Amino acid sequence: MSEDLVAIISLFAEDIPHVTGPDTGRTVRFRKFACDAKHQYQGIGSQLLEYVASLARSHMNGTLLWCDARTATLVWYQKWGFEEFGERLYKGPAEYVRVRREL
């Protein structure tokens, strides 16, 4: 990451692929979520995630927040109330799983 960049996240109003039905509500996806290594374990990523969850709810009328998470980070997402769903997927050699949380 750049010297000036501490953390980054992108937020999109986007349906969950291959999931339909009344229980999906208005879904908001986040991507490109990262925190510079020298700033990790200081709560910055946690605060950023909670901030975008608030934005998704208040400005995007979201009812469900989701992402493709690396399986290596699954426990961290579960700590913040995310649940695993769907099948595992691969992006290159990295294994991912979809996670979601109600807003």
pLDDT digits (tens, 9 = 90+) for 18-54: 765 555 578 999 999 988 988 888 999 999 999 999 9
Q: Is 23 helix (H, G, I), strand (E, B) or coil?
A: helix
Q: What is the pLDDT of residue 42?
A: 93
Q: DSSP per residue over 2-21, as a string? A: -TT--EEEEEEE-PPTT--S
Place of tokens 């979809």: 98
**Domain 7-102, classified CATH 3.40.630.30, yes or no:** yes
| % of the chain with per-residue pLDDT over 90 | 72
User: Average pLDDT, whole number, for the chain?
Assistant: 89
More confident residue, 1 or 89: 89
